[in-house]
Structure 1
Amino acid sequence: MQKKILLINRPEGTPDHNDFKVVEAEIDQPSDGEVLIRTIYISVDPYLRGRMNEGKSYVEPFQLNEVITSGVIGQIEDSKSDRFSKGDVVLGSLGWQEYSIAKEDTIRKIDHNQAPASAYLSVLGMTGLTAYFGLLDIGKPKEGETVVVSGAAGAVGSVVGQIAKIKGARVVGIAGSNEKTSYLKDQLGFDAVINYKTQNVPDALKEACPDGVDVYFENVGGEIGDAVLPLLNNFARIPVCGAISSYNNETEDKGPRVQGHLIKTSSLMQGFTVGNYSSRFGEGAKELAGWLSEGKIQYEETVTEGFDHTIDAFLDLFKGKNLGKALVKVGDINE
């Protein structure tokens, strides 16, 4: 038998435990072309909140009374596939459950000797690729420019800032605790940091960006995004990756209108998802792996131990408790 986590309610506002249900079910056996995977790591991500709502989006909403899915690292326990063997460590979009059946063309093998397995869910996975393509394809930072990153201590934001530094930019990070701002400045080398919970963000931004803002990587939205707009330089670029400040709003998010700022400065504001760049994932992963091996980028993980704490780890995202990538460790890799 195994445990699975189902979505049983569409959350109203911030999700809580009543929106989920843990059930026990038999472990299925693979058919031809399939494998049985034992879960090692589960990725918990802010975008999953949007999939809990009904309505049109860039990805289908979760169905009620069905297993929630996200990025998962697992180890193959049984294989009916010519492509995979028992013991292979693989990555796929799989369920929040202890064991999964997957078709051979929906997973890929990873080399956990080249980098820790968890890195393939963070810096070498979706979040690292999101940072890479969003910043370089839309933000296009140039040497000497000022790049501002909101949600800067998260899995995406922390990599964005480091790539911007590699490209020679001046980097300003916005985060929500002294621990996070210290990490950004002391370990990752950000040039300036702002704690939005203890500082006046508009005033702090003016001080941190005396030459204005050339690139604003948007992860948060809300009042933080509003505070950046008046500082945009001509031809500034704004990759819009996320807006976590509004994900749990029960009414439509409202704020200052952006059009005047964009027209006045001829700025570009473009939303994106990492799926837009799926044909180029190999390029991004190779570059990120190179920077990682050279010590040019670092990454942090907040790892919650135990499958039974998966829901808690997800809910903690909206309390700002994670530094870097939030993961749940379900088991160990058998060598």
Structure 2
Amino acid sequence: MYTFKNTEINNKKASDFETKSMLYLLGMRSDSAEIEIITVDCFNDVTGSNLDFSKLWDVQSKNHSSLPPSKIGESLSTLYDNYISSISFSEYILFIPKLTRDYLIDSGLNVYGYSNINLKQKKGIEKKLKEKINGNNLGSVPPLFIDFLSKVTFVEDNKKISTYIKKISKFKNKRAITEEIYERIFNEIRNAQASLKSTYIENESIVKPSEVLKFERHITKSEINTLLINRLIGIDVFSFPGIPIAFFSVIEGKDEEEIKDLLQECNENLSRAFFDKNGCREFWKLSEKIIELLKGNPKNKMTEIYEVLISKIKIRTPYLTEHTVKYMISLVKTGLENAD
């Protein structure tokens, strides 16, 4: 049985720091591809999971203006609680501002284990952590104490807000999008994260990790990627209300039912390409190239962009048919025109 404690209630605004820690999980680790679901302020500030909850990445984020050893020790307490809990976590991560470099053996690292911290600082960390765990019983060593510390990964925040968004974007040319747009997307994700804290789960219990979904304090990688692609293109790609003007040349001469069927087919194909793990990379590559071509030739017709596009990239996924690609170009054209 796992019981949720010290959860935040009705927090109107999630901190930038918690959002950075979430985006770190999704785009800045060698195992980020495995993470599909993020829970917010349940097990910890953020916790990543694969689809069946058989692997969990637990993150405590602490944005203190200064982090002396005592503060570091205090910050590790919720990770320790999870380490000895009934639920098994694969990773224990403390996401923090950049530490004083004198604390570290190798000061050039920004991601490191407990072994990279100097002995003097370790003593202060362990003293405070023991106090947090033991309360008045200060003399005893808590269960699995040293084993826990050896499992912690320290991650320092040393990047701009925009970098965290760029890392989850599959666009190769990151400079094609302005810093302002990246920061706007970050703020939108932060606000979506904050809204998840409106439910009350204090003292609620679960037996297995997947049961956390019933509290609706989670966001999926697919949801974040959908928001990201929609904002980068400038239009709601997967639920556009109507027919983009540039696509009228394709539907000319078709009756109402044929038009409905074609639009439905294009929408379904786009969704399949985007949410299919094998086709997703193709979708991002196609979107990036369309944006590049339209920004360079904004007055060109959709058909002209299409001809240039297929001469430059080879589309391998069967979902991105000729009509679907032309529909995508029309959507992007509309989005970019609306942004002007």
State the TM-score bracket (shorter-chain normalisation): under 0.3
TM-score, normalized by length of structure 2?
Answer: 0.23
Higher normalized strand content (fraction of residues)? 1
Higher RCO (CA 8 Å, separation ≥ 6 residues): 2
Higher normalized helix content (fraction of residues)? 2
TM-score, normalized by length of structure 1?
Answer: 0.23
